[in-house]
Structure 1
Amino acid sequence: MAVVRLGDGSRRPRRFMGGAPEAAAAVGVLVVEMYRRALRRLRACYAKAIRDVLEGAALVDAGV
């Protein structure tokens, strides 16, 4: 049976960003900031949705 192996043949583990820990740390910081920003937007959207639901329920209760 024919077997094809991809890669350069070395068995050493590959490192993220070519083994530069500074670059990997910088990318990690950027990812953390992206997630924080997304979470902040999600919280704001959720709070607005809850306000809209409560406002709608108040209007229904008022008979408008």
Structure 2
Amino acid sequence: MLIISYSSLRGGVSVATERGETSRSVLLIQKARPSDSGNYQCNPSNARTANVTVHVLNG
């Protein structure tokens, strides 16, 4: 499980949240690189946990 650090020197990592009847958050990773690959988890206090596995490939 990867822990997102918004204060790391890497920079370019943020979350955009749209609030409404159904809220939605999006994790943005600018200039993604293979080291950003891994299992990401969203664990909101008022909903079920969601997981996704991300593979960043050299292209």
Q: Please, what TM-score do these two structures have when normalized by structure 1?
A: 0.17
TM-score (norm 2): 0.18
Structure with larger Rg:
1
